[in-house]
Structure 1
């Protein structure tokens, strides 16, 4: 239907809000108009919308309207499985039913994930070439936990209609699932695979091509944008929810690694297909790499040591000779088993070869300002040998060319305007003033100054490297006692979270949970259901906890969450900005800290009736030269540095005063 014949977006939003029993909010109306304007003008827009704004409706309504008017799906990308499930299981079904009366037909939607998330029928029916003994991590016939999972997958494979791994409840381990799934690189292709006509991944993609809204994740969005073969249906508009996570997720997708294990896998897969002397050369190169990495110190590698350069070149050249020995890539089309073996071998060889090339090309630049990528060595563990990694210093250029250059993008999150401006996030995304984009903060329905206090413990010493000072433990104890429990403790490291838990369990008479005691999901559920309970943890709790109501009255943050000084990627990015004349600390470290602080403080108010205190124990938030930038990134709580104020407020809220 032509766009002019469809109801205005405000009318559709009003109908949806009324039908769903809600009430329109000024920020939601602002946002829905901004998204519609971006679609109409083909200009990108970044919208900061606080918790409670109703941002899902605000972008879904104009997205559905656009899909109806153009017969082209809108892609909605999220960072977390939780939000994907919320959209597909709750928001979209209710909205589709509501808007069916206002639109030509009931809006349709589908979720699309990476191929690894779908069961491979060919592999499940044992048609896939068996891995050799070193790849076989267990015997499926063995009556063990993993063996039982394999048996459960086999039974489920007979009845599932989607092949989606998330249907398996309870879930299964990666070990077990790997026996039934293939990556995009390993896949034979629907035309060549004996099970191609009934492939779950292909059916999911076909469904996605016929609906109005396709829900996916940032990783698949990046693969679609950066790759040569599209994995998403053709689309003109993308909505990136949880957009503050986009850069990290894209960076993960384009980060590559090289280790003795990855070389050994390539050797095992190719050894059965080519002459042994050729594969032996790659095996020897892998052994040289193993010995070198075992002896080298972990950390960033700024200059290429001669011995590492020679070893990487040996790996590269040996892998290239194996590829040549394999012959044409399209051979054995009529023999699926042989074709599967060759595809798996080519995939492993390409990964080893291309990563070695990329690492060698990371060096040889004229100056620090010309460096494009960083290489570092990550220490091994009991379960994993040392590994070399390579990552880009900046993904903004890729995003500008591959994502923003091809379509209209709507970016939204509760935390985008850092230091009161969108400029920092825009730089990371590769958006510049001449690129055609707008930023809009639609605020929050919460009355932050009345509902919450931001307390900065200015009187405490600066945090050190030797764990939590005694004064911090005393402060935490007094605050939790005033709140009667009901506390979420967000710590900068797991070590700090565990140390605080151990020390305070002896001093407090309220239940105290620590991340790692059980699955994070179960711990959060237990915390939400028991008012006096406290929950301590680290990174995933800063962004992943939604506990409205009286179970959460106090959020404690132990320190400003700067990245670790020895983190190879962030330290390299900081130095790179500095070399180009920018402020590396503010652009990288302070922006990282501001984003996490905003996410952490955002845990406090999750519903209109919530009240409480955010207590930051790190005095630098009040005294450091960068404190204004950090404070400008946070919700506008009423602020104090007087320790008596938050304690009195918490006692009133908990009925202890």
Structure 2
């Protein structure tokens, strides 16, 4: 494979061997591979070998579009060329996205029910959305793929929705007049003929959870960016209900059934609107009586509309009417099922038996109040739907939290690792004193992934479905010498962060560090409010350019930051995981506080409470795991290539003093650590002169 260039990396070889072993022995493996390991080639080589030898596709799932593009535009073409002479045929690959990502030819040309009250936007409309609609119509005449990502510049969701359908709305290739030319079907057909299918975590979840197949037959899945898997799957299985959704269902069904039947659903939607307008946002631990009655009426009225529509397979000879009926069925089913799901979420005797959480999101400028319902855990779903029938390779730069893979494994629904598996080589987890800030003994943490059975015994307390496949965890390390290239600075002397914004001592510390670094700083803040406050306080004080997330598009801000070494960039969540700036433009990463989830976050707070009710430690299982993952991701922004050097400065003194601090520090790269600010500033000054 000399065509790939580069030098041999021991971690990459070790990972490739582990992936090959997992595939050959039909077991799962979780591999932590630091930045620079070359993990994509490490899993693609054995995966391609298996795909060609078994004549079965391998699915590679990622969390970001950037990695998908890297795989299909760079890694796979180079690998296919290099392996062409060593394999029976040149490896083939394709990218596959959800149906919503492809233009629907039939919807673009036929009389389809409108999602907006005003109907399809007039192309002559001077509004931005109207201009986007016109661009889509022009693009539809020339595109060969129908892939939304190829429409540059992009368009907003409101415009794109006029030209796309979900899998449930689709008429099907056999019934649709445009089925023979369907972009989504062509992409699926292409994916069924290749060795490697690149997709995303959401589509992987849909394929696993739904009754219909989305991906081609496969027996091996590679989950890259696996630290994102649980959140992405949770998003897929989270449902929402609002007056706007009810109103859309009424519009879709209005001309197809008697008006009096549709009016009942419309009136129930208006009642829901009035209730949600005055309800306080946040988690609902009990169901208010009047809301329960309204949800019951919505559920029953939606079912009455479905019944009035008649048989689902009717109007086969009238594609236009069939499309209208399919869209109406889809909207009504979603309304009915979500209302029923919310009602069922409260039908439990105790917190131990609870399986789902319901909360109200407040209205914004762009949407009305929304009721949401989500599972407390997706581990059981993943265990039964993803891991049971496939060999799964999970990899990321951040998987061994607190020095062990078992925290992530619990979230994925996996049991203890195989006893005779390879040592994870991550170091021993820190001892855990038994108090409110540290893990409970035993398997309390795994309670977050247990559900009650008919006999009242949780899945964690008795055998569930047969688990034929074991799993192992392996940390192949990093090609970087973290102890020589980076410093972890723990600002032990600073006060604990408060709720009233950044203390003045934090602002002073940030200014001194930036001055020593000569700019070159990425500031990662726990909230946008903190990032903006720091920007306003320091922009005129530090004497170097200071950018803040929100000033422009994030991609442009990152580019400006990378182009000018003197520039600083402050921001929040997307910068913690999405910035890749090698070289002299980034020598200092500042983290203002340990990124625990917000105490009032409905889903994470419900998960903590549920773990505690099961006898576990909710703080460590949920909040500390969340913080450890983000801390590791944020610290990973510093070293992106071998020549990089610098400092990760954590201003929150709890990382040095709290009882849970050893667990969090064990999740970080093995930087040289100090709490001496003078040593850190001196090191940063030396870097500016090299």
Q: What's the counterpart of residue 25 of structure 2? A: 41
Query: 1:137 and 1:603 mapped to 2: Cα distance?
Result: 44
Alignment of 1:540 onto 2:524: no
Query: 2:536 and 2:4 mapped to 1: Cα distance?
Result: 46
Alignment of 1:444 onto 2:427: no
Q: Compare 454-463 and 170-179 and name the one that shifted more.
A: 170-179
| Corresponding residue to 1:417 among 396, 400, 403 | 400
| Corresponding residue to 1:63 among 47, 52, 58 | 47
Following TM superposition, by how much is the alpha carbon of 1:363 offset from its aligned partner in structure 2, in angstroms? 1.1
Q: What's the counterpart of residue 332 of structure 2? A: 349
Q: Which runs of 4+ in 1 moved over 6 A?
A: none
- 1:299 to 1:41, Cα distance in 2 relative to 1, 3 A: same
Query: 2:576 and 2:235 mapped to 1: Cα distance?
Result: 20
Alignment of 1:502 onto 2:486: no
Instruction: For residue 163 of structure 2, give the secondary structure of its aligned residue in structure 1.
Output: coil
Contact 2:48 2:91 in 1 (8 A): yes
Query: 1:107 and 1:578 mapped to 2: Cα distance?
Result: 50
Following TM superposition, by how much is the alpha carbon of 1:149 offset from its aligned partner in structure 2, in angstroms? 2.2
Give me the TM-score of the superposition, normalised by structure 1: 0.96
Query: 1:270 and 1:151 mapped to 2: Cα distance?
Result: 27
Instruction: For residue 38 of structure 1, give the secondary structure of its aligned residue in structure 2.
Output: helix
Instruction: For residue 45 of structure 1, give the secondary structure of its aligned residue in structure 2.
Output: strand
Q: What's the counterpart of residue 9 of structure 1? A: none
Alignment of 1:370 onto 2:353: yes
Alignment of 1:647 onto 2:631: no
Q: What's the counterpart of residue 162 of structure 1? A: 145
* Structure 1 residue ranges without an equivalent (≥5): 1-14
Query: 1:49 and 1:183 mapped to 2: Cα distance?
Result: 36
| Structure 1 residues 171-570: aligned runs within 5 Å | 171-433=154-416, 435-570=469-604
Give me the TM-score of the superposition, normalised by structure 2: 0.92
Alignment of 1:615 onto 2:598: no
- 1:46 to 1:553, Cα distance in 2 relative to 1, 3 A: same
Following TM superposition, by how much is the alpha carbon of 1:523 offset from its aligned partner in structure 2, in angstroms? 0.7
Following TM superposition, by how much is the alpha carbon of 1:307 offset from its aligned partner in structure 2, in angstroms? 1.2
Following TM superposition, by how much is the alpha carbon of 1:130 offset from its aligned partner in structure 2, in angstroms? 4.4
Following TM superposition, by how much is the alpha carbon of 1:617 offset from its aligned partner in structure 2, in angstroms? 0.2
Following TM superposition, by how much is the alpha carbon of 1:136 offset from its aligned partner in structure 2, in angstroms? 2.9
* Structure 2 residue ranges without an equivalent (≥5): 417-466
Following TM superposition, by how much is the alpha carbon of 1:137 offset from its aligned partner in structure 2, in angstroms? 6.9
The RMSD of aligned alpha carbons is 1.1
Query: 1:494 and 1:640 mapped to 2: Cα distance?
Result: 28
Contact 1:194 1:336 in 2 (8 A): yes
Q: What's the counterpart of residue 153 of structure 1? A: 136
Which digits, 9 at most, give the CA deviation of each residue in 1:157-216, with x for residues without a partner?
Answer: 122111111111211222221221111111111001100001000000000000000000
Following TM superposition, by how much is the alpha carbon of 1:138 offset from its aligned partner in structure 2, in angstroms? 3.8
Which digits, 9 at most, give the CA deviation of each residue in 1:353-401, with x for residues without a partner?
Answer: 0001101110121211110000011111232111110000000000000
Query: 1:130 and 1:363 mapped to 2: Cα distance?
Result: 35
- 1:209 to 1:159, Cα distance in 2 relative to 1, 3 A: same
Following TM superposition, by how much is the alpha carbon of 1:406 offset from its aligned partner in structure 2, in angstroms? 1.5
Instruction: For residue 216 of structure 1, give the secondary structure of its aligned residue in structure 2.
Output: strand
Q: What's the counterpart of residue 612 of structure 2? A: 578
Instruction: For residue 236 of structure 1, give the secondary structure of its aligned residue in structure 2.
Output: strand
Query: 1:306 and 1:146 mapped to 2: Cα distance?
Result: 41
Alignment of 1:590 onto 2:574: no
Query: 1:48 and 1:365 mapped to 2: Cα distance?
Result: 39
Query: 1:114 and 1:136 mapped to 2: Cα distance?
Result: 25
Query: 2:116 and 2:130 mapped to 1: Cα distance?
Result: 16
Alignment of 1:113 onto 2:97: yes
Contact 1:137 1:175 in 2 (8 A): no
Query: 2:640 and 2:483 mapped to 1: Cα distance?
Result: 15
Contact 1:528 1:547 in 2 (8 A): yes
Contact 1:285 1:311 in 2 (8 A): yes
- 1:450 to 1:601, Cα distance in 2 relative to 1, 3 A: same
- 1:473 to 1:178, Cα distance in 2 relative to 1, 3 A: same
Q: How many residues align?
A: 639
Q: What's the counterpart of residue 62 of structure 2? A: 78
Query: 2:202 and 2:398 mapped to 1: Cα distance?
Result: 20
Instruction: For residue 22 of structure 1, give the secondary structure of its aligned residue in structure 2.
Output: coil
Contact 2:113 2:324 in 1 (8 A): no
Query: 1:581 and 1:296 mapped to 2: Cα distance?
Result: 32
Query: 1:520 and 1:606 mapped to 2: Cα distance?
Result: 19
Following TM superposition, by how much is the alpha carbon of 1:150 offset from its aligned partner in structure 2, in angstroms? 2.1
Instruction: For residue 614 of structure 1, give the secondary structure of its aligned residue in structure 2.
Output: strand
Query: 1:52 and 1:566 mapped to 2: Cα distance?
Result: 37
Instruction: For residue 388 of structure 1, give the secondary structure of its aligned residue in structure 2.
Output: strand
Query: 2:404 and 2:355 mapped to 1: Cα distance?
Result: 27
Instruction: For residue 622 of structure 2, give the secondary structure of its aligned residue in structure 1.
Output: helix
Query: 2:7 and 2:150 mapped to 1: Cα distance?
Result: 34
Following TM superposition, by how much is the alpha carbon of 1:20 offset from its aligned partner in structure 2, in angstroms? 1.5
